Amino acid sequence: MQMMEKALAMPHYEFQGVYPDAGRLAILCSVSDKTLSSEGKAKLWARSEELYKKGEQIEPNKRYVYDSWATAYYWQGKYADAWAMLAKARKLGGETPKKFLAMLKAKMPQPLK
């Protein structure tokens, strides 16, 4: 994550897909680093959200942003938010990987429209 932050700080860093990748990395660091305090996790979660919003701003019609954001919400235990992001991805023609869909359904049934 430290290297990703250095890359994001570089001038003119608007490469497509980098913000959702960085957001997902922040979440994965928060759930895998067992030495993090609650405050440390909260900071990574907030950073992840910020990165996804930036990615959405740059590429509002890219399914990848919402698919990735859904997985980030899943790892945070925000299952309703994960479903909401999958709905956005599907509107853009997205097809959710079956394994992820099964994992999410096991935590929370798909909300009715």
Whether 52 maps to a domain, the answer reads yes
Helix or strand or coil: residue 66?
A: helix
Contacts of 85 (CB under 8 A, 6+ apart): 66, 67, 69, 70, 73
Q: How far from 43 is each of 2, 39, 48, 91, 108, CA to CA, in Å?
A: 14, 6, 9, 31, 26
pTM: 0.87
Whether 100 maps to a domain, the answer reads yes
Q: Domain limits at 81?
A: 2-107
Q: Return the residue matching tokens 């990703």.
A: 4
What CATH number is given to the structural domain containing 26? 1.25.40
Whether 79 maps to a domain, the answer reads yes
- Residue whose C-alpha is closest to residue 45's, from 74, 67, 18, 65: 74
Whether 112 maps to a domain, the answer reads no
Number of domains into which the chain is organized: 1
What value does the mean pLDDT take over residues 82-109? 93
Whether 26 maps to a domain, the answer reads yes
Whether 113 maps to a domain, the answer reads no
Q: Which pLDDT band holds residue 2 (cuts at 50, 70, 90)? A: confident
Whether 64 maps to a domain, the answer reads yes
Residue pLDDT, tens place only, 9-57: 776 656 667 899 999 999 999 999 999 999 999 999 999 999 999 999 9
Query: How far apart, in Å, do the first and last CA atoms of the chain sit?
Result: 36
